[in-house]
A and B are shown apart, each in its own frame.
Chain A
Amino acid sequence: MTLQKHLIFTALGGIFLFAVTQQLEPFRNYQLATMAAYLCATAGLTILTGLNGQISLGHGALMAVGAYTMAFAQNGIGNLYLSLLLAMLATTAVGAIIGVAAARLRGPYLAGLTLAVALAIPAFTVTFDGLFNSEQGLPVSFTPPETLPIETWQALTAGGSALLVMFLLANVVSSRFGRAMRAVRDNEVAARLAGIHVARTQVLSFVISAAPAGLGGALLAFLAQNVSPGAFSLTLSLYLLLAIVIGGLGNLAGAVWGAFLLVALPDLTNSLTEGITASPELARKLDGNLALAIFGLTLIVVMLVAPGGLQSLVQRISHRIRKGRNHV
């Protein structure tokens, strides 16, 4: 049974998460938490782009919606889990609005519209600065528990949320609705003939994909303990897109790869640039940009050489190993 399989995977993931967070040093725990926050967003985007064939450059903006809702709820009410839930609900509502517009649009038109959404986010915070406090952003206050180190607590919260998201999305993927999404992606006319309501499926896909993105944004705000428009630039949206493409479109495991790369690669290039710093001037220019350049180049190469992404590469290799074993 698929549900049982997903339950077992989630339970194992939970145990693994708990064991790992106890062992890691605080900084690694913080990175793990960041990865979990990204994973929520990349998993949501995988559902939308990979399974339903709609592109979105606006998921960074949806994360911003989640993050700002988190800030409001946390500073107003102060219950962490309630705030996370509210962030998801608010993002779901915004996602539904964008989704209604998106269901009428295809390919480059949709990309252009969502790009405009991503670029408008800082403008919203400046225009309504009484509410969003323009470029400075808002603090996100919370009281950490006394029994745990704060990073461990953050990693547990974010990791647990990500596990829950993965469990729910995995069930969506293998459900009747998941099949409808794929049918709409592959052939709209055939899907319509099979009795699938195409537009409704597309709007619902956008909604399902927006909710975890909002949760991811809320988790990022929770980790950074503040929220500002700079954290949700167009680059973030492009990052998310390239993470799912490199990881493997249409496969939730690809979202895990993508989230891992988003945290690991900048860390790696940072330590690289620190190692070779000839001058502080050069280091400042390389800082951040090197990771971006590698990401961009990887994205192009992956699209040209292996459009299935890392996950398809892993599958191909494991398939070959299994085949080799059978031959012996």
Chain B
Amino acid sequence: MDRFVFLTFDGLSNGAVYAAFALALVLIWRAARVVNFAQGAMAVAAAYAAYSVTQATGSYWIGFAAALGTGLMIGALVERAVMRFVGHANPLNEVIVALGLVLFIQAVLGMLYGNEFLPSHTPFSRNAIEVGGVPLLSRYDLFVFGAVAALVLLLALLFTKTSTGLRMRAAAFAPEVSRLLGVNVGGMLTLGWALASAVGALAAMLVIPTELGLNPHAMDLVFVTSFTAAVIGGLDSPPGAVTGGMAVGLILSYVSGYLGSSVTPIAVLALLLIVLLVRPGGLFSATVARQA
């Protein structure tokens, strides 16, 4: 029973990160109808920037801020310099260009830092706090929950309460009309990519210390897991992404806890396969938009 409780909290903590990363995917999907396959590589690049800044200043928090700032910049750069010029004739084009970005970013990181795992530290202890003799969750898990909750809250406020959020939604929903009404549609697209990339960077900062460490491929599996979470949520729905992320986190925690951690990628594959074949529109889709 102790083990079950521990796995549950661990799964929720991982799930929060998957939720954040899935949110980043959903943000770009809503803004540009693109699944950003380079999201993982971009987030890792931001985490490497944080590593360098933390090494130079000795402060985790300055590095943390640097990761978010680098995330914003990478997102804007990728949209402005690359994605904007991809032809939309074939939906595969964007996927292929994003995969080219993955190869390029990971190779550049490898050239700068090497392909080895670099140690990655947490600002809080990862030892579980015991409540009544049962180890529940660590201070670091609490930090993860807090960060993701703050993120979700901020994004919700941005999109529902501010005029920038309204413009972003309008630009994505009806670009032509928005342009007529004076919305800078291109600028909103860039902002969407920058925001999503920063959210991805936050997720990378939260998840990398809990795994093997910093490596150009550190986010590969997290990407697929979060993609699964986003698909479960319907790829179009932020609440769906958060719920999907939590659900996937829990399932994977039980799988790796009871069957062994090497099974995790197979479980992700099975989960994605089941969702795509049984409910391809996701559990939260209101209408059937995609033809089977």
Contacts and interface: CB of A to CB of B under 8 A. Distances in A.
B221 interface: yes
Interface string B73-116: 00000000010011100111101110111111111101111110
> In the complex, which of the residues B82, B90, B108, B262 has the most CB atoms of chain A within 10 Å of its own CB atom?
B262
A284 B277 contact: no
The 7 A-B pairs at the shortest CB distance, nearest first, are namely A296-B104, A296-B103, A299-B100, A292-B107, A293-B107, A108-B35, A123-B265
A131 interface: no
Nearest to B41: A296
B155 interface: no
Nearest to A108: B35
Contacts of A303: 86, 93, 96-97, 100
B92 A53 contact: yes
Contact of A307 (B87, B99, B106, B231): B87
A285 B231 contact: no
A127 interface: yes
Nearest to B82: A300
Interface in A71-111: 101, 104-109, 111
A115 interface: yes
Contact of B92 (A49, A290, A300): A49
Contacts of B264: 123
B153 interface: no
12 contacts: A101-B273, A112-B35, A112-B228, A115-B223, A119-B221, A123-B263, A242-B100, A285-B114, A290-B107, A293-B104, A299-B100, A303-B86
B104 A111 contact: no
B269 interface: yes
B96 A241 contact: yes
A297 B263 CA distance: 34
Given A241-B99, A299-B100, A106 B273 contact: no
Interface string B163-202: 0000000000000000000000000000000000000000
Interface residues of A, number: 48
> In the complex, which of the residues A57, A116, A288, A300 has the most CB atoms of chain B within 10 Å of its own CB atom?
A116
B209 interface: no
A113 interface: yes
Interface of A: 49, 53, 55, 57, 101, 104-109, 111-113, 115-117, 119-120, 122-124, 126-127, 234-235, 238, 241-242, 245, 284-286, 288-293, 295-300, 303-304, 307
A119 B271 CA distance: 14
Contact of A104 (B34, B86, B260, B292): B292
Contacts of B90: 53
The binding surface of chain B is classed by DSSP as helix
A52 to B, nearest CB: 11
Interface in B239-292: 260, 262-266, 268-269, 272-273, 276-277, 280, 290-292
B224 interface: yes
A112 B231 contact: yes
Given A123-B266, A296-B103, 13 more contacts: A106-B91, A106-B291, A108-B35, A109-B231, A112-B35, A112-B227, A116-B227, A116-B272, A123-B264, A124-B266, A289-B108, A292-B106, A295-B100
B220 A234 contact: yes
B286 to A, nearest CB: 18
Given A116-B269, A289-B107, A299 B115 contact: no
B111 A123 contact: no
Contacts of A295: 100, 103, 107
B100 A116 contact: no
B273 A113 contact: yes
Given A123-B264, A296-B103, A303-B100, A111 B37 contact: yes
> In the complex, which of the residues A234, A242, A288 has the most CB atoms of chain B within 10 Å of its own CB atom?
A234
A304 B104 contact: no
Contact of A296 (B101, B262, B272): B101
Contacts of A241: 96, 99
Interface string B101-137: 1111111101111110000000000000000000000
A127 B104 contact: no
Given A300-B104, A304-B86, A105 B280 contact: yes
Interface string B199-223: 0000000000000000001001101
A108 B95 contact: yes
Contacts of A296: 100-107
A120 B265 contact: yes
